[in-house]
Chain A
Amino acid sequence: MGEAASVIMCQRVYWDVSEHILAEYSGVQPRTLWPTVQLSVTVRENPDLVKSPWRAVEALLHWIVKSAVWLYTYAQSTRGGISDLEPDCRAGALRESDCGRTPSRAVERRGAGRVSVQGGTHVGSSGRRTFIRNFVIEILIYGLLVVGYFLLVLRLLGGLLKGLVDENLTLYAFVALVLIVLQGALLELITSFLVRRLGLERLE
């Protein structure tokens, strides 16, 4: 565990350093840079950094948190300033009359690609912040679930899957498809359920 913690610490230091270097070259303020850039740099320059799945999971979680922080910081830094951040007026998802408003409770789809807002309030920075915050929480929950799901499959089905490839390809093909579909669809449903249970507003 100590070893894993030191790996994470190294990554943090590396991230911080790379953030400032990139900031110098790009002119973008530190803490608003895309963490993926840093992640790819980290991986390229430290190929042996992560050797076990557990360390990978820890690093991935850190990366998710970092992405969440980036997203939140981005939302904060662009408060009231981004023309694109009036999404649905332009995306064609909301009614014309709803332009300049943001969903405060729920968004209901009404066929034909049109969406109406229930209980909409004027777009305010707080509305946007709530939206971003809820999305970040949702992503964190979802991230934990997909990583957990993978570890579970690896631990419980790893050997079995290898055996299936050697003995019964047809069954393996269907199991493979089911596993990937479950990871995609089921976990998203569980996340939606958990998000609702937490009482967070969600765009649907």
Chain B
Amino acid sequence: MHFPIADVVISPLFLAGVGFLVGLLGGFFGVGGGFLAGPMMYLVGVPMNFVVGTDLAHMTGKSIVAARRHRTLGHVDMKLGLLMVLGTIPGVEVGARIIETLEAAGSIDRVVGLAYVVVLLTIGVLTGWESLRAMQLVRAERMQAKDALAFRGATRRVQLFSLPPLISLPGSGIESISLWVVLGVSFLTGLLAGALGVGGGFIRMPMMVYLLGVPTHVAVGTDLFEVVISAGFGTLTHALKGNVDILIALVMHTGAAIGAQIGAMSTRFFVGPRIRLLFSALPILGASLVILRMLGVVGGG
């Protein structure tokens, strides 16, 4: 099928299939899925400038569907989501500027690539280890499965920081937390996302769980809510530059919307530690792709 805006010929079934897969992952883990959809689009010949914008457009639609579904399940903390957006936006901006400054000083592709690999592997391995440990504790009946966390030390320490104003996040079951902690964590995730050039879903979700103490299901739903805002904003800015092929995005969304519904609903059937265990494979997969690209085994952008 010919898509006149990007001027490419791609099978719509392929696009819908990729969309479905990304939607499924997004609905279940609360990630945007750009690490998968972007390379796939590039692989079938979508020009690079359209890859980013179109991916953001389909991500917006998919996240709306998944966030709405999570909301019906009580998994979205709107207050936390909006506060996180406030911290994420300056974080992304600062991260992007740091990269610009470093780039002006010389080529930093390899440095960014290595940082990306280190961050993703750390998240993947830590999340995997923690969730396995949590599941062991649940099996030994030392902990309730509901939202078992193997280590709460970081969460406790973060929550002990009580610089006013203190806020409550009833949607996440947090009675009292400093607003600065929420903004700080979201700034940090934004900074990493901006510096590494990623959407940041797979950084934000574990940060919310381990640092803020948000239940896994709520972290997934709230992350999606945030993706709606950030991806929507990104779509608009990219579309203004003519970098969005909305027809490709709509085809991808036919699959993604269904995948997102199934993914979001599937979270009902999994306990928190199991979601985190499955999630831990994602950053490791992302890191592997970057390693392969750095070694020149796979191309793409």
Contacts and interface: CB of A to CB of B under 8 A. Distances in A.
Interface of A: 36, 39-40, 43, 47, 49-53, 55-56, 59-60, 63-64, 67, 71, 82, 84-85, 87-93, 109, 111-115, 135, 138-139, 142-143, 146-147, 149-150, 153-154, 158, 161-162, 165, 169-170, 172-177, 179-181, 183-185, 187-188, 203-204
Of the candidates A47, A109, A150, the one having the most CB atoms from chain B within 10 angstroms of its own CB is A150
B269 A53 contact: no
Given A53-B12, A170-B240, A93 B74 contact: yes
Contacts of A92: 146-147, 173, 215, 217-218
B272 interface: yes
Contact of A169 (B17, B217, B240): B240
Given A139-B261, A176-B246, A112 B173 contact: yes
Interface stretch (B100-108, B114-122, B249-257): B249-257
Secondary structure of the A contact surface, majority rule: helix
9 contacts: A67-B258, A90-B147, A113-B215, A114-B74, A154-B247, A162-B5, A176-B244, A180-B58, A180-B246
B84 interface: no
B262 interface: yes
Contact of A173 (B12, B14, B58, B240): B240
Nearest to B144: A90
Q: Which 3 A-B pairs have the closest CB atoms?
A: A173-B239, A184-B64, A112-B170
B254 A165 contact: no
Contacts, number: 195
B187 to A, nearest CB: 24
Contact of A188 (B68, B172, B239, B269): B68
Given A93-B73, A172-B242, A183-B250, 10 more contacts: A39-B17, A50-B14, A56-B12, A64-B258, A115-B73, A161-B5, A180-B246, A180-B250, A184-B68, A185-B68
Nearest to B77: A113
How big is chain B's contact interface, by range? 35 or more
Contact of B239 (A51, A162, A177): A177
Interface string B6-42: 0000011110110011001000000000000000000
B12 A203 contact: no
Given A177-B232, A180-B57, A84 B270 contact: yes
Contacts of A43: 11, 13-14, 17
Nearest to A148: B254
Contacts of B276: none
